[in-house]
Structure 1
Amino acid sequence: MTLPMASKNRFSRNQSDGTRRSSFSCDNPDRREIVCGCGVASFSVLLAGLLGDASPAKAQTLALPVPELDALSIRIVTDSYQFAVAPSRKMDTLSIEHFGWGISPDYPPGPTLASEFGLSMVVTSSRKGETRKTLIDFGFTAMALNNNLQLLGIQPAEIDALVLSHGHYDHFGGLAGFLRQYKDQLKPKLPFYVGGEDCFCAREWTAPPVKGNFGVIDREALAAAKLSVTAMEQPALVADHGFISGQIGQRSFEKLLSPSAMHVGVTEGSGCYPDRLPESERGPGSIPDQFRHEIATSFHVKGRGLVILTSCSHRGVVNAVRQAQTVSGIEKVHAIIGGFHLAPYPADYVRQTVAALKEIGPDYIVPLHCSGEPFYEMAKAEMPDKLVRAYTGTQLVFSGSAS
């Protein structure tokens, strides 16, 4: 469905780019049954926020076969940090290219990449001579996003689709400022995908270390940029090359933590419409996030398998992978990339996740954002040949098979 936009704005603002703040301080499912967040607080504090699906719903498989891609590259536009002198390298079918510094033989150092707690990625896919670009998530600030896009040579005019994985500020914070800077360069009616109306709810961060306002998506900026805004609760193709998972059910051992609360309602044109939410989430007041709207974005590389971008994995990285397998009908997983939301969990839980991912058997695992160092260390010990370290600016290039 296409969501209506509003024009008036009297929200308080917390950034110079105009980004809004809100006004108040899935086991192993089969293809037929699968349903339709990144804090660093301790598990003991967040345990009270464990939630589950009260009324699971069946999701559809994709109506069309997932396209096979000849090549796929993923540029990490914004992540938590950069290691400028990391050497590029080749791992079988994967090329890992790090950015380095923004320097040149012709002039002294100037602007370089900005890292922050957030995530943004640009996916370039190729199929039968056609190329598509998809921008997934927008990091914490437009300052970092716009700066990095320019340094990485990414042209907003070439973007074919925008995807927002979920309604947390560290994933949409740069969106409004990006749109304001580039709206005249974007393609007409550029598709903008979210996983449900609750993505638009205003939010509070309720977990340590600091509680407070966690922002709201600026619907006025979406309207001004003339985006084609679509909430997809079921799986769907994106830019003809990839697909979004649809809403991710909790069917594995994974437990959902709720470090934020969403405020149901619309204030001065932004927020979420109660009548588009499940009855149990229509308020009044604030309710703990269940992240029903969270989505993953995936691509099928010819002869290799699925490359799954989990973004933040509030509903579980294993659940996100199983969802992508189910809706696409493709079992082979080539790579899992993104935030795995394991930083807040205890060691035993992280170890269980590593074991589950090892059983899935991806060729590569690329932890980003909120995955946490304990996961990296455990995965390095258990799957040293599969683990890939990536940073702000890293480009991961996957090649399809010739046959």
Structure 2
Amino acid sequence: MFQADSVELTVLVENWVDMLLPDHGDHCVRTGLIEHFDPKRLPPQAENGISILVRAKQGRHTTTVLFDVGLTGSVLLHNISALGVDASAIDAVVISHGHPDHYGGITPLLDAFDRPLPVATHEDAFLPRFAVMGDGSVSPFYNQTFSIDEIERRNGRTILNTGSLDLGCGVYTTGYIPRKVSFEGPKPPAQAHAPGLYQVGADGTYGLDEVNDEQGLIIDVKGKGLVVLTGCAHAGVLNTIDQARAICGPRPVLAVLGGFHLGFPTTPSDNVALTLTGMAERDVRTVVPMHCSGLATHARFSVEMPDRYLQPSVGTTLRF
């Protein structure tokens, strides 16, 4: 399999903006106070979503992949401009799964392009989804604006994958993520129509949204190890790491960043400690919980893994 000589990851969309976070050596550079206060520049914005720009190099070649596109195109496009990102270099977009905080910016992004752009996701990402809240309110068919027709009408080129895709220069999608870690992954509700996420299946049945469309991203860095990206980790962040190693081999894990799905109201609180233990067992060198990971996750990891935990923020760039 191909490997990257180096990779650079820039957080374009995240729930958090913090202009006081320090750099960490050469491998973590922040958009800080100077950039926020500079009247010649736009300060970046935060929203409840995620988008990470990946630039992997192999020799004289570069592959640029946009992993997820946030909740709104307005924030994504604003931050692309604010951070001085050359969006024209994007080779492909990977949508981790069909929830709005991950695909929401796709049509504005495609409208801003003047050429075809590949968009990779799972076919189940387009199946109708519903959200039932604790007070009984329902968000019906909340992903109806996400469709193959809308993508291709805007000159997007849809790639439907269930297995791993080789995107070049050591960048791979995970494809479907097997649910092997016992405490991870969606669990059936105790009663019908309990609070949670639901989906209409391809066969017309209505039930628990198991988010079988979810996939992560892997960058295999030569001589170093794997960088693993998760969208929301509905399938489990440890399951995602294990799938990355199943694809690329039993390599060291340089970093895991993305949503860990530990802040969701129906996720058992014990899962934070179990995930921390699983990260330690897998010897993850840098842990960056983002988006849906929850305050308890940040608090626990920052105290118990202070040398490995890294607080996320829009404008953070990591280099390996």
Give yes or no for TM over 0.5: yes
How far, CA to CA, are the matches of 1:201 and 1:313 in structure 2? 19
Report how far residue 240 of structure 1 moved.
4.2
Post-superposition CA distance 1:336-392 (Å, at most 9, x none): 111110113333221111111110001111111111121222222332211111211
Post-superposition CA distance 1:18-43 (Å, at most 9, x none): xxxxxxxxxxxxxxxxxxxxxxxxxx
Match of residue 176, structure 2, among 247, 252, 265? 247
Are 2:185 and 1:256 equivalent residues in the alignment? yes
How far, CA to CA, are the matches of 2:246 and 2:123 in structure 1? 23
Contact (CA 8 Å) 1:306, 1:330: kept in 2 or not? no
Contact (CA 8 Å) 1:75, 1:121: kept in 2 or not? yes
Q: Which residue of 1 aligns with 2:119?
A: 192
Are 2:142 and 1:221 equivalent residues in the alignment? no
Contact (CA 8 Å) 1:96, 1:396: kept in 2 or not? yes
Are 2:110 and 1:175 equivalent residues in the alignment? no
> Secondary structure of the equivalent of 1:69?
coil
Q: Which amino acid aligns with 2:19?
A: A
**Distance 1:110-1:331 versus aligned 2 partners, 3 A rule:** closer
Match of residue 139, structure 2, among 212, 217, 227? 212
Are 2:250 and 1:330 equivalent residues in the alignment? yes
**Aligned CA-pair RMSD:** 2.0
How far, CA to CA, are the matches of 2:168 and 2:119 in structure 1? 11
Post-superposition CA distance 1:102-142 (Å, at most 9, x none): 5575xx37642111111011001111121121001011111
Q: Which residue of 2 aligns with 1:315?
A: 235
Are 2:1 and 1:70 equivalent residues in the alignment? no
Match of residue 359, structure 1, among 281, 291, 311? 281
Q: Which residue of 2 aligns with 1:237?
A: 166
Contact (CA 8 Å) 2:258, 2:288: kept in 1 or not? yes
Q: Which residue of 2 aligns with 1:271?
A: none
- Deviates further, 79-88 or 215-224: 215-224
How far, CA to CA, are the matches of 2:51 and 2:134 in structure 1? 24
Q: Which residue of 1 aligns with 2:191?
A: none
Report how far residue 191 of structure 1 moved.
2.1
Q: Which runs of 5+ in 1 are unaligned?
A: 1-64, 265-273, 275-281, 399-403
Post-superposition CA distance 1:255-313 (Å, at most 9, x none): 3237322235xxxxxxxxx3xxxxxxx114x3321111110100011211000001210
Report how far residue 202 of structure 1 moved.
2.6
> Secondary structure of the equivalent of 1:380?
helix
Q: Which runs of 5+ in 2 are unaligned?
A: 188-195
> Secondary structure of the equivalent of 2:251?
coil
How far, CA to CA, are the matches of 2:268 and 2:294 in structure 1? 11
Are 2:39 and 1:112 equivalent residues in the alignment? no
> Equivalent pairs: percent with the same residue?
28
Q: Which amino acid aligns with 1:79?
A: E
Post-superposition CA distance 1:51-106 (Å, at most 9, x none): xxxxxxxxxxxxxx1x221211110100001001222121xxx611111365575x
How far, CA to CA, are the matches of 1:110 and 1:122 in structure 2? 20
Are 2:23 and 1:88 equivalent residues in the alignment? yes
Contact (CA 8 Å) 2:13, 2:79: kept in 1 or not? yes
> Secondary structure of the equivalent of 1:68?
coil
How far, CA to CA, are the matches of 1:239 and 1:68 in structure 2? 9
Q: Which amino acid aligns with 1:201?
A: L
Match of residue 223, structure 2, among 299, 303, 306? 303
Structure showing greater Rg: 1
What TM-score comes out, normalization by structure 2 length? 0.89
Are 2:285 and 1:372 equivalent residues in the alignment? no
Q: Which residue of 2 aligns with 1:289?
A: 209
How far, CA to CA, are the matches of 1:374 and 1:103 in structure 2? 28
Q: Which residue of 2 aligns with 1:153?
A: 84
> Secondary structure of the equivalent of 2:176?
coil
Contact (CA 8 Å) 1:81, 1:115: kept in 2 or not? yes
Q: Which amino acid aligns with 1:263?
A: V
Contact (CA 8 Å) 2:15, 2:291: kept in 1 or not? yes
Q: Which amino acid aligns with 2:170?
A: H
Q: Which residue of 2 aligns with 1:393?
A: 315
How far, CA to CA, are the matches of 1:325 and 1:315 in structure 2? 15
Q: Which residue of 2 aligns with 1:62?
A: none
Q: Which amino acid aligns with 1:158?
A: A
Q: Which residue of 1 aligns with 2:73?
A: 142
> Secondary structure of the equivalent of 2:27?
strand
Post-superposition CA distance 1:178-233 (Å, at most 9, x none): 112x131x4x3x32111x21101232222347631422314333112322211111
Alignment coverage as a number of residue pairs: 306
